[in-house]
Amino acid sequence: MPFYENVFIARQDVTAQQVDTLAETFTGIITAQGGQVLKKEYWGLKGLTYRINKNRKGHYVLFNIEAPAGAIAEVERNMRLNEDVLRYLTVRVDELEAGPSAMLQSKGRDREGREGGRGDREGGREGGRSFGGGRDRDDRLRPGRDGAPREGGFGGRDRGERPAAVAAEGEGDRS
Q: Note whether 67 and 33 are within 8 A (CB).
A: yes
Intervals of the chain under pLDDT 70: 108-144, 147-175
Phi, psi of 95 (to 5 degrees): -145, 155
Is 162 domain-assigned? no
- The verdict on residue 144 lying in a domain is no
pLDDT of residue 85: 94
CATH number of domain containing 30: 3.30.70.60
Model pLDDT, residue 151: 59
Res 103: pLDDT:
82
> Is the distance from CB of 72 to CB of 135 less than 8 angstroms?
no
The residue ranges of DSSP E strands in the chain, in sequence order, are: 3-11, 36-52, 55-66, 85-93, 142-143, 149-150
Q: Is residue 119 part of a domain?
A: no
pLDDT of residue 99: 80
CA distance 98 to 38: 10
* Residue numbers of the domain that contains 59: 3-97
pLDDT of residue 24: 95
Task: Examine residue 129 and state whether it is found in any structural domain, yes or no.
Answer: no
- For residue 91, the model assigns a pLDDT of 95
Q: What pLDDT shows up at residue 127? A: 53
148 domain-assigned:
no
Widest pairwise Cα distance in the chain: 84
**What is the pLDDT, as a whole number, of residue 64?**
93
108 inside domain: no
- Residue 173's pLDDT is what? 54
Residue 104 confidence (pLDDT): 79
Read off the pTM.
Answer: 0.61
What is the per-residue pLDDT for 162? 58
Residue 40, in any domain of the structure: yes
Domain count along the chain: 1
* Residue 149 in domain: no
Please report the beta strands in 53-115, taking only residues with DSSP state E, as ranges in sequence order: 55-66, 85-93
CA distance 86 to 79: 9
